[in-house]
Amino acid sequence: MRRFSWFNATSLTVGFAFLYLPMLILIIYSFNESRLVTVWAGFSTQWYGSLLQNQSFLDAAWVTIQVAIASSTIATVLGTMAAYVLVRGGRFMGRTVFSGMVYAPLVMPEVITGLSLLLLFIGIGLDRGIFTVVLAHTTFSMCFVSVVVSSRLVSFDQSLEEAALDLGCSPFDAFRLVTLPIIAPAVISGWLLAFTLSLDDLVIASFTAGPSATTLPIRIFSAVRMGVSPEINALSTIMIAIVTVGVVTASIVSKRSSLAQQRDEQAAARAT
Amino acid sequence: MRRFILIAVPYLWLVALFLVPFLIVLKISLSDIALSIPPYTPQLDWTAGWAGFKDFLGQLDFENFTFLTQDPLYWRAYVSSLQIALISTVLTLLVGYPIAYAMAQAPDEWRPTLLLLVILPFWTSFLIRVYSWIGILSNEGFLNQFLLWTGVISTPLTILNTNTAVYVDIVYTYLPFMILPIYSALEKMDGSLLEAAEDLGCSRLSAFWLVTIPLSKAGIVAGCFLVFIPALGEFVIPSLLGGSDTLMIGKVLWEEFFSNRDWPVASAVAVILLLILVVPIVLFQRNEQKQREMDQ
Amino acid sequence: MAQTVFAPWDDPQAKPLIQFKNVTKRFGDFTAIENLTQDIYEREFFSLLGPSGCGKTTLMRMLAGFENVTEGQILIAGQDMAHVPPNKRAVNMMFQSYALFPHLSVWENIAFGLKREGKPKDEIAARVEEMLRLTRLVKFAKRKPHQISGGQRQRVALARSLAKAPKLLLLDEPLGALDKKLRQDTQFELMDIQEKTGTTFVIVTHDQEEAMTVSSRVAVMDEGRIIQVATPAQIYEAPNSVYVADFIGDVNIINGVATKAEDGYLITWAEGQAPFMAKTPNLFADGQTCHLAIRPEKVAISAERPADAVNAVEGQIIDIAYLGNISTYHVKLVNGQMIKAQAANTRRLSRRTFTWEDRVWLSWTDTAAVVLER
């Protein structure tokens, strides 16, 4: 019995308005000819133009993308290994410590993670730069990948792996040929999650990047400390647009494939 | 053998890049500030052998920690952080629950779209979402303009750079983290339980209070932890939207490190923050464990 | 027509394919298998039958290699399987859930095991085609598991497990998910395929009808032990315990005390009542407690006391279960015990001889019952 009452409808409308209004305002003002937020001076795309010519932003964007791709890929590999070990590994020495280390970044304040990693790099004399940021991002994204992949592994039918073993696969082959293709959507989501987290990270990057590697969030932060900037509005709009297209596409694709699957199953059940 | 590698690789990575850094933080919190690179002393001289190590240990002290307890700034910052985090969590719950509830009550065809709408902000840049409020809450910002235009107020409200802005933004940013666990708990709830309650004489309101809320407790608890724990150590929000009198420990740590260049004190601040967080983190893990056992 | 009876277990020269030697399996404190010794011969269709938790699935998983023995040995073709992982055994398993790889087509599922052996492509293709023909799945080769029905999936699982021509095939509750009609058809198909391919089948089931239909021998298990191993006929007609007698089919158990008589034993079962007469190969001491087990279809029911019946007893019909072809009469004896007697409905309903509350006589011969010690 579901009652979609007047109260529920209001909650939803107000709630989603709250969630989306700020971003909408941002998008609208990125087209504002005037620099000031207060005055609407007319429609203009000039800020997009000046943004794209701003070298420091472009450099920062390039650094950020490199870091994001590298760290999310390594984090996905490590996170998937960690998830597999935790779900299937059974008991081994130091399991509690391992489990704690894997899941701690979920709840650890970024200032602490950032500080500790920086102190490590200084302590071993590692020069700060893109490499250190990649190391840092990999470490904290790993845990998110692990959460996503392990929740998929838990519901994974183990008899499929056993069947593969029974038919002659080595344990590694069984993983490669059976488990991995089937959990692939979860692994990909994990990669995307790690990618987004890396793209978006400010605090840890600030600690571990040093003067040579400026990421986009660092650049944005130093710009907005001084207040609203229309170029940032333009940049924000671009980023929101990319994310929206990505998320909507992903959801349409997954809905299509699950509908197709359902249709197939129904057809099979009817035609025995 | 293969199994060993499988366990060893992520294990070693985490030990090297997670555990060891923490030990270093601990060590530095016990050191003193110095005009050197790196700016702390003592430094462990590997070549000096065991004697060097003992000498090193001897120079460590709890000076930084006593300093923290003496200067009221830090004490107030911790308390203020706890207070802000707590209030924000409650506010997020009050805003998030009705939304999650409405989503759970919505017709089936709407649900995937609604979920998508909640998750979309989560994938959008955190920094941008915080930044968007600057343009809204400033004195010349959108909110004030709107209120002036409708005549509700006659002079602009100062919201930006106060604690209020921080509250608003924490709620805004962490809302998806509260909505999703509650929604998932409510969605699993069997609707016939409510029917049974009403059949036995409950009014709609008391059925909600006596049946729905307790059954969604797991979601509420998870959501609260997911907001409270990170909010405690927040830096970006108080930094961009808070005022100079908005004391949050994340901000204090940052300033201690970057502005004052006092690494040992910053480390000590971090250690204490961690100790404060241990309790809620352990409680959170216990709750998750119980949930998993119940689901089985 | 004389048929050579398939009974390698009676042949002292025959070498068993599978040998369990004092096998014990413990999971922590819980003992799943208790000191079990059993031989299984080639070309047998061997059933492990028992209730949930009796250890039959554990036994099968140990054969497949997914569980290790805690104590004892398992030998397949004379080789100790102690350190042999599942992917190196000449054993294949058909899983209860079928475990078909959802991301591969029917063809690829069947070819999966063959590809692991590194055979040349055309050999693999030929073998897969053979399997598809054997299980009548040729039309569905390109489909994925979610595009075929439950019965078809079961055949794919069977084809996949037979593709590598294993010496031993393990089937874990293979017919559980099928409806009754399909189950019966598939049972005969399985027996057919087993004979054709000459593979040894070991099947785990809780369905006694299934076990009785397909098996060369049935092992009835309870709590980690094998209670009796025999052919279906022997299990049914000559159970070695009340447990086995009760597990398979319907049975009446009358408890009593045995006394040696000329040609068998006299079983005193109630005060003041004539003892029952039974012939049995088992030995009993005078005064020993025993259990008389008699199948309902061997209990004749009549209105009058039959003149030449060895065993006859009076009772009252309390209940009648009409099952279409037969009727089961629940008769209460003087001491309160209920006996079930079954009779075919040779006449139509309206001409039924017996009805509720009728006083009747039950009778059976001296060889109809089995006398059991425990």
Of all residues in chain A, the one with the smallest CA distance to B149 is: A38
Residue-number span of the structural domain to which A97 is assigned: 66-235
A19 contacts in B (CB within 8 Å)?
A: 117-118, 121, 172, 175
DSSP state of A32: B
Q: How far is CA A91 from the centre of its chain?
A: 31
Between A and C, how many CB-CB pairs are < 8 A?
A: 75
Contact between A157 and C97 under an 8 Å Cβ cutoff? The reply is: yes
Work out the pLDDT band at C2, boundaries 50, 70, 90: very low
B117 contacts in A (CB within 8 Å)?
A: 16, 19-20
Percentage, residues of chain A above pLDDT 70:
94
CB proximity under 8 Å: C 58-87 to A: 64-66, 85-87
CB proximity under 8 Å: B 65-94 to A: none
- Cβ-in-10-Å burial (0-12, 13-18, 19+) of B216 comes to buried
A272 contacts in C (CB within 8 Å)?
A: 149, 151-152
Task: Convert the pLDDT of each residue in C307-321 to its tens digit.
Answer: 888 888 889 999 989
Task: Convert the pLDDT of each residue in C237-274 to its tens digit.
Answer: 888 889 999 888 889 998 888 888 888 888 888 888 88
**Contact residues for C76 (Cβ-Cβ < 8 A; gap 6+):** C17, C18, C63, C89, C90, C91, C167, C168
Residue of B131, B256, B271 to mutate for A, most A C-beta atoms under 10 A = B131
A271 contacts in C (CB within 8 Å)?
A: 149
Contact A162 C112 (CB under 8 A): no
3-state secondary structure of C227: strand
Of all residues in chain C, the one with the smallest CA distance to A264 is: C147
User: If you count DSSP H runs as helices and E runs as strands, how many of each does chain C have, helices first?
Assistant: 8, 20
Spatial distance between the Cα atoms of A63 and A78, rounded to a whole number of angstroms: 22
Q: Which amino acid is at B44?
A: L
Please state which of the ranges A191-200, B171-180, B186-195, C292-301 shows the lowest mean pLDDT: B186-195
Closest CA to B182 of B288, B75, B100: B100
Q: Which residue has the tokens 């006083």?
A: C359
Contact C117 A168 (CB under 8 A): yes
User: Which of the other chains make 3 or more beta carbon contacts under 8 angstroms with chain B?
Assistant: A
Strand partners, C46: C202, C217
Closest CA to A75 of A144, A132, A128: A144
Residue of A74, A111, A224 to mutate for B, most B C-beta atoms under 10 A = A111
Average pLDDT, chain A: 84
Contact C93 A166 (CB under 8 A): yes
**What domains can you pick out in chain C, each with its CATH number?**
14-243 (3.40.50.300), 250-372 (2.40.50.140)
Strand partners, C328: C321, C342
Work out the pLDDT band at A1, boundaries 50, 70, 90: very low
- The arithmetic mean of pLDDT across residues A156-185, rounded, is 90
User: Which of the other chains make 3 or more beta carbon contacts under 8 angstroms with chain C?
Assistant: A
A78 contacts in B (CB within 8 Å)?
A: 9-10, 13
Spatial distance between the Cα atoms of A217 and A64, rounded to a whole number of angstroms: 8
Is there a domain that residue A57 lies in?
no
Strand partners, B41: B32
Chains B and A touch, using 3 or more CB pairs below 8 Å: yes
- What is the ipTM metric for this complex? 0.79
Is the minimum CB–CB distance between C97 and chain A shorter than 8 Å? yes
Is there a domain that residue A214 lies in?
yes
Contact A162 C116 (CB under 8 A): no
Is there a domain that residue A20 lies in?
no
Contact B266 A23 (CB under 8 A): no
Is there a domain that residue A110 lies in?
yes
Contact B233 A20 (CB under 8 A): no
- The arithmetic mean of pLDDT across residues A7-17, rounded, is 85
Of all residues in chain C, the one with the smallest CA distance to A170 is: C87
Contact A107 B225 (CB under 8 A): yes
Contact B120 A102 (CB under 8 A): no
Is the minimum CB–CB distance between B278 and chain A shorter than 8 Å? no
Is the minimum CB–CB distance between A178 and chain B shorter than 8 Å? no
pLDDT of residue C369: 86
Strand partners, C168: C91, C200
CB proximity under 8 Å: A 36-55 to B: 36-38
pLDDT of residue B35: 56
* Nearest 10 degrees: Cα torsion A212, A217, A219, A220: 180
Q: How far is A167 from chain B (nearest CA, A)?
A: 20
Is the minimum CB–CB distance between A200 and chain B shorter than 8 Å? yes
Contact A102 B191 (CB under 8 A): no
Work out the pLDDT band at C105, boundaries 50, 70, 90: very high
Contact C103 A181 (CB under 8 A): yes
Is the minimum CB–CB distance between C176 and chain A shorter than 8 Å? no
C113 contacts in A (CB within 8 Å)?
A: 167-168
Domain count, chain A: 1
Spatial distance between the Cα atoms of A83 and A151, rounded to a whole number of angstroms: 9
pTM value?
A: 0.79
Of all residues in chain A, the one with the smallest CA distance to C63 is: A166
User: If you count DSSP H runs as helices and E runs as strands, how many of each does chain A have, helices first?
Assistant: 12, 0
A165 contacts in C (CB within 8 Å)?
A: 65-66, 85-87
Domain locations in chain B as residue ranges: 70-295
Residue, of A180 and B57, whose pLDDT is higher? A180
- Minimum-distance CB partner of A169 among C64, C116, C149: C116
Contact B129 A92 (CB under 8 A): no
Residue, of A179 and B125, whose pLDDT is higher? A179
- The arithmetic mean of pLDDT across residues A122-133, rounded, is 85
What's A72's domain CATH number? Answer: 1.10.3720.10
Q: Which amino acid is at A128?
A: R
B70-295: what CATH class?
Answer: mainly alpha
Spatial distance between the Cα atoms of A56 and A201, rounded to a whole number of angstroms: 18
Q: Which residue has the tokens 């100079």?
A: B244
pLDDT of residue B39: 64
- Both structure tokens of B59: 């120079």
DSSP state of A177: I
pLDDT by residue, tens only, chain B of 296 residues: 667 888 888 888 888 888 888 888 888 787 776 655 566 666 655 555 566 566 666 666 677 777 777 778 888 888 888 999 999 999 999 999 989 988 888 888 888 888 888 888 888 888 888 888 887 887 777 787 777 778 777 777 777 778 888 898 899 989 988 998 898 888 888 777 777 777 777 777 777 888 888 888 888 988 898 899 888 888 888 888 887 778 888 888 888 888 877 788 888 888 888 888 888 877 877 777 777 676 65
Is there a domain that residue A101 lies in?
yes
Task: Convert the pLDDT of each residue in A24-83 to its tens digit.
Answer: 888 887 887 776 656 666 777 777 777 778 888 888 889 999 999 999 999 999 999 999
Task: Convert the pLDDT of each residue in C115-169 to its tens digit.
Answer: 888 889 999 999 999 999 988 899 999 999 988 988 899 999 999 999 988 889 9
Contact A166 C147 (CB under 8 A): no
- Own/partner pairs, B195-203, CB within 8 angstroms, 24+ separation: B195/A1
- The arithmetic mean of pLDDT across residues C165-180, rounded, is 87
Contact B21 A81 (CB under 8 A): no
B254 contacts in A (CB within 8 Å)?
A: 111, 203
Chains C and B touch, using 3 or more CB pairs below 8 Å: no
